[in-house]
Amino acid sequence: MIKTMKNKTVFQAILRYFSGEEVDFSDYELDLSELTEFQQKVLTETRKIPYGETITYRELACRIGKEGASRAVGGALSRNPYPIIIPCHRVVSSSGTGGFCGENCGEKVEFKKKMLEMEKKALSDK
């Protein structure tokens, strides 16, 4: 469940995001209680990745104090119940884009690439 901020629905924020606007989703309260403690740590840290920036699975593992847990981080990200709001698309492989929403190739990964391109373009247009 997502608790919305005053006068802002998450749907409106997502629409603004996909129109190319830089949107900060960090003020939305998210229920991650159905996830393991490890998954919650991964997703909580993922929320801190700034708009238009990326980090690797390895970097994310290090940020949560679990060096060497890159694959486990990827597994936790694949269970993200709030894509976009928790920007798992900003976590990439050291050798390329990596997966998105549990897939390593196909339409979802292409969608991830498009979101990253959109964010970089929005920042460069400032």
> Can 88 be counted among the known catalytic residues?
yes
Residue at token pair 């629409």: 15
Pairing, β 91-92 against β 55-56: parallel
- Distance CA(68)–CA(1), nearest Å, equals 32
- Distance CA(64)–CA(78), nearest Å, equals 17
- Distance CA(89)–CA(114), nearest Å, equals 10
- Distance CA(2)–CA(21), nearest Å, equals 21
Count of residues in the chain: 126
Catalytic amino acids?
Answer: 88
